[in-house]
Every structure is written in C-alpha cells, then in structure tokens.
Structure 1
C-alpha cells in the first residue's frame, strides 16, 4: 500500500509499543523513520562491564527491539545526534553497522543522508560503502535551520552539493524521498506562512536538482508541556503548524503529491532520559489540525501516576475523544478513566503515539480525498 505517513520516532519503549499496537489501515500506511539516540553514560558503563563491545551491543539491542514490532517491514534509519565519524568497536561506521544488524533481524532499513552533515568525508564514505556493499536505498534529510535556509539563497552551491550526493551514492534523485524538516517549530517565530514560503523555496531548488518526492516535517509541541499549557491541572489546544502548512501546500499546482511527516507526540528536543522529578502527568490527544492536552502536576506529588485516571476522564469528556474502537491508544484511555491502571510516562508515550498515528493517517487520507473531490468538481465545471 502507498505510504501515507512517515512519523519521525525514537526507538524507545513507548514508541515501539505504539507501533506494536497499530491496527488496520494505519499499520499498512505508515513508514517509521527512526532517530536512534546515542548511547548514554549509564548505558555505556553498564555494557562496558559485560563481555561484548558496548557500542556494538547497544546497537544490536536497538535492532532487536525494533524487530520485535516491525519484523519483515521497512524503516528509515537516521542517527543525527551521533558524531558524523562515530564507529563501532570493530571500526565500522555506526550507520552501516546498525543497518546490517537490522537486516540480520529481518528489518529492511533505508539510510538517511543528512544534507548538512555531508561535508564530513568519513560520513560520506560510510554511506557510499553501505550503498555499494549493502545495496541499500537512501532518503535525504534537509534540516531547515537558519543556516540552511540562508544557504538556499546560494543556489549554485546547493545544486552542486545535491549533485555530489547523488553522484557519490549513485542514486537517481527522482526516486529518492526528501524530508524537508523544520524540527521544533513550537516557538511563535515559526509561523505557518513562513513554513509555507520556505518549503516552496526548498522544493523549487530540489526539483531543479532532479528530486521529485518530498515530505514536510515539523513539531509544534515544545520540549516541556509547561511551555504550551501554562497552568497545572488544566487543558488546552496546540495548533499543529506542520499540518496547517502541509494543507496549504498540497492544494498548490504541482505540490499535490507532497507527503506529511511529524515527530509524533515527542518533539525533537524533548528529554529522553531521567526520572519523573520535573515531569508532569499529561495526555496529548491528537485531533484534526491540533493537539488537545490535559496537563496534571509533577509525577512526584499528590496522586503521582494515578492522576492519569482523572486526565483520561478529562479527555473523554472534552468532546474530542473518538471512541475506544478507534485505536489501541483510545481503548487504553478508556481503561485508565475507569481506574483499571495509571501508567508510567513511557506507557503514556505509547498510548498517545498510538492514537496520534491512527489520527494522522485518517486526517491525511480524508484531506487528500477532499482536495481530490474538489479538483474533480472544478474539472467538471470547466
């Protein structure tokens, strides 16, 4: 089936559980893009006390965990927070090493090429080697930070680098997906019109380099929920600016095939490790164009994790809840509201992400159908 949605996810317990519980059309229309977290000091110390090389053991473990939920399927593999020259103990670059580990667990991985990181010859050679010896396919990631946006004005330089990437990796640009990635756009300086204009500029330039398959990505959720919902024990809505920009872009001539991506319910700058000392109880419930958030209070206080039961009841009473049949995540929200469990932070990442994926797949399909129907009516009138 055609890929409808490419979520950029951590290969963590919460996100993996969300994928494991996908059902119906969602699982067939989703292609996960895994952003693999670097090994942290605690994990490194623990693995160093064992017999196996710690980095290789860590990456092999990541591959095994992904395979438990996505065996015999394809993923996109990205390691943007690792050093461009990061190697496993045997001297192999971590990207092809992990790709080979995934293949051994029957997970097919296309490697992500980072346009910004291409300057490092070690990085470029590792990707080239993976293409030559592993026969892998690639996707291109264009990080739309301020430096990259400024560089887009130097068109000849950009076109030269894009040509070098395609020639070095020996791929046809027309067959390679480009992720136009705005990352964290929670700040008010990131407006929808700005996202649209920058996307148009990037797509125009990439098209001139022969690329034809584009996706727009961004995340409107900040690193900390308190930045969106200021008051404890309250609810609110966050506009999904990445979705608004995508809706505007796909109705423009030549952009009807533009794909949609985002970061699920955990943004690119969200904290990945640590205890619950500063974490608030929360449920992030995706709806069309927005995310409804029920925020509680620190998980170390009061009812601690049990506060999620009241938060679940708030979601159900909000008028936004679909029903328990919509997704596994929705069923878990109902179960929690009835006092059957409370759940940890990781559990709620799983629940919220699972609902989010189902919701986005439905929203994208329905909006595309609406746009196509409108275009058909206009053709009839002509």
Structure 2
C-alpha cells in the first residue's frame, strides 16, 4: 500500500462503505480509503455507535488497509464504563483484526495523543489531518509536526493530509492551491515524512441550485486544487483525496421531508447532477427510471460494464432492477465515482510525475 494513488474519504454508513467494497479488486491496490465515524445523536450510547461502525468495517472493508478517523467524538467523550471513547473504538477495531491506521489532528483532544500514538505504533502508521487554518502559520504547524517525534512516533511512518473540505469558489481554490504548495515545500525541507495527501470537495450540500427535472454541471474544484499543487515540482508528489459525491458536512440526523430524486455522475473534471423532484410527489421513486435513462443516454456514460454503479443505472433504466431508495443511490453514485477516479489517477499520477502542467492534467478524462 506504499504506492497508492487515491484516498476516498468515506462516511462510515453501510451504503457508503459498500460503494467501496463493490469496486473491482483490480483497482483496489492503488486505493487507500479513509473511513469516518458518521454523525450520531448526542443521546446515543457511544459504545454502541462505535461497535456498529466497527462491525460495518469488518463486514465490508476488513481485509483492506485503510485510515480510520473519529472526528465527531467530543473532547472528553467516555463510554458507560468511564473509559475514553477513542480508546474503546481502537480496541473494538483491533478485536476484529481490522487493518487500519489511526487519524488525528491538532484540533482534537490533547489528552488523547498518547492513545493515538500507541495505536499508530501498533498499526505501523499515522495520518495527521490538517485543515486550511493550519496553513496560516506554517512554521508553527511544522514545529508541531516535528514534536510528534517526541511523543514516541517515528515520523518516517507519518502521512499528512491537508484537507480543505468544501471548495466553493474558483478564486478560493487557487488561493488554497498556492498556500498548500508553499506549505508542502517548507514541510519537506524540514521533515522527512511518508506521504502527503491533498483533499477537498465540490459536492453540493443540496441540489437546490439545479433546476427541477434537469441536469446541472459542477466543476470538481478538488481536482483543480490537486492539479495545481502537483504541477509545482515539489519534493514529493501529493496524493489526491476527495469526498466523492457527498458533501463533507453531510448528516442524516435531520433528514429533509422532501428529498429529491437525483443521480450524481462523475466524468472528467465535472460532476453531472441529474435532478428529479420530490420523492413524495408525482411518480415518486419511479422517477429514477427516467433519471437513469438520461444518464445512460448521455455522452459521458461509461457503459454498463464500467462499474457496479453503472450497471445498476443501466438496469434501472431498462426495468431490470428496482428503483431503490436514497441510500441505494449513494451506493451507486459513490461506486461509479470511486471507480472512475481510481482509473483516472492511473493516468494523472504518471503525467504529473513526468512534469505535466496543471492544464494538461485537467484536460485528461
């Protein structure tokens, strides 16, 4: 797994994890996912939530090396036994023999660093997750990274992810690319690390800006971000990471009463979003047949054999499968996206390594 090319950041819900599990094994050696504990209610028992998450990973992703993160555990979170929830989470994953490396950040609970380092040494690696704020004072952040060595961890086994999360404008994306490239250059001059990942997302939180019963196109700004950083001739080539078609802050804890039928289809440097209408109105779930037909008849459709998701779209359009539910289409859309991006980066990583410009990288399908 030392030469992976792509890190999809995956919410730890069943259909999101299945989306990765259904990707062809041929592509998986170049993919190292990051699984996040999904949102849960404040009244939920942390131990129960963590155990459910661990079982899902064991069922659908247990044999695959991954990163696992628990960003939504509140500082001081404990289980009913009084033990730190993060320590319990690691123990549950270890009991199921999952192959994973922990994820942590400087915005997390300081007191848990010892637990994280202990698990990182056991797992053989650690992912440090930074955000845009960490780049504002690069010298301070690099000093903090160097201090991880004093906590008892060999930095040669450290990966760093610079996660810009939601990218909402072209200007902001270019500013983030410049700051990221400068930070990577300074970081590599000071510390020898294992890998550096660059992450972001253009996935919309809602489809409200797309006209009802139409198709809209959204640029994959995270791809633009990566291309401009990767073309800067840095000491290391950054690895691409994204959230797929799911917004980084997505939560189903307060579901909408008027969920729209939609299919999100990745091609080139764009998301094509086929929006229907409320699933409570008119043809309800049957609208997915028309949406699937629109995708399968489009110029960017990759064919029914491309991925599990593409096959489902074809079969839904032709009446050979059911219309599913919103969770089904998360699986379908994410599976196509992960498959497409893994194949895409087989081409892009090589082109970037050979000195391709950002423009050349973004012109590749």
TM-score by length of structure 2 reads: 0.90
Offset of residue 298 of structure 1: 1.5
Structure 1, gaps ≥5 residues long: 45-53, 376-382
1:193 to 159, 174, 178: 174
Listed one character per residue, the Cα deviations across residues 244-280 of structure 1 (whole Å, up to 9, x for unaligned) are 1212222222356210000111111223234451321
Match of 1:210 in 2: 191
> What is the match of residue 148 of structure 2?
165
Match of 1:108 in 2: 99
User: Which aligned pairs between 1:132-147 and structure 2 lie closer than 5 A?
Assistant: 134=122, 137-144=125-132, 147=133
Over residues 125-148 of structure 1, what are the superposed CA-to-partner deviations in whole Å (9 max), with x where a residue is unaligned?
A: 33234346x45521110111xx43
**Alignment of structure 1 residues 119-268 onto 2, 5 Å:** 120-131=109-120, 134=122, 137-144=125-132, 147-152=133-138, 155=139, 157-168=140-151, 170-185=152-167, 187-188=168-169, 191-212=172-193, 213-227=195-209, 229=210, 231-254=211-234, 257-268=237-248
Cα displacement (A) at 1:362:
0.9
Seen in structure 2, the aligned counterparts of structure 1 residues 23 and 211 have a Cα distance that, compared at 3 Å, is same
Instruction: Kindly indicate whether the alpha-carbon contact (under 8 Å) linking 2:103 and 2:129 is maintained by their aligned counterparts in 1.
Output: yes
**2:284 is equivalent to residue 298 of structure 1:** no
What is the DSSP-based 3-state SS (H/G/I as helix, E as strand, rest coil) of the residue aligned with 2:40? coil
Taking a change above 3 Å as real, the CA distance of residues 108 and 372 of structure 1, as seen in their structure-2 partners, is closer
DSSP-derived class of the 1:356 partner: helix
Q: Give the CA deviation at 1:364.
A: 0.9
* 1:223 and 1:271 in contact (8 A); partners too: no
**1:5 counterpart residue number:** 6
1:26–1:361 CA contact under 8 A, matched in 2: yes
The answer to whether the 8 Å contact 2:100/2:123 transfers is: no
> 3-state DSSP class of the match of 1:235?
strand
Between the aligned partners of 2:16 and 2:234, the Cα distance in structure 1 is: 34
Counterpart in the other structure of 2:31: 30
1:80 to 46, 71, 81: 71
Give the conservation status (yes or no) of the 8 Å contact 2:117–2:153.
no
> Do the aligned partners of residues 165 and 256 (structure 1) sit closer, same or farther apart at CA in structure 2, a change above 3 Å counting?
closer
Contact 1:175–1:211 (CA under 8 A) maintained in structure 2: no
Give the structure 1 partner of residue 312 of structure 2. 332
Unaligned runs of 5+ residues in structure 2 are 357-365
Shift of the 190–114 alpha-carbon distance from structure 1 to 2, 3 Å rule, reads farther
**Deviation of 1:24 (Å):** 3.4
Structure 2: distance between partners of 1:167 and 1:247: 34
Spell out structure 1 runs of 4+ moving beyond 6 A.
none
- Superposed CA deviations along residues 169-215 of structure 1, whole A, max 9, x for unmatched, are x2232331110100011x22653321210211221332244144211
Residues 1:60 and 2:46 aligned together: no
CA separation of 1:374/1:208 partners in 2, compared to 1, >3 Å: closer, same or farther?
closer
Q: Report the RMSD for the aligned CA atoms in angstroms.
A: 2.1
Question: Cα distance, 1:355 vs. partner?
Answer: 0.4
1:38 deviates by 4.2
| Secondary structure of 1:24's aligned partner | coil
How many residues of Structure 1 are paired with residues of Structure 2 in the alignment? 353
CA–CA distance in structure 1, aligned partners of residues 330 and 295 of structure 2: 15
Please state how far the C-alpha of 1:296 moved relative to its aligned partner. Answer: 0.9
**Secondary structure of residue in 1 paired with 2:136:** helix
Query: 2:166, 2:226 → 1: CA distance?
Result: 16
Aligned position for 1:356: 337
Q: Is the 8 A contact 1:174 1:211 kept in 2?
A: yes
8 Å CA contact retained: 2:233, 2:355? no
In the other structure, the counterpart of 2:351 is 370
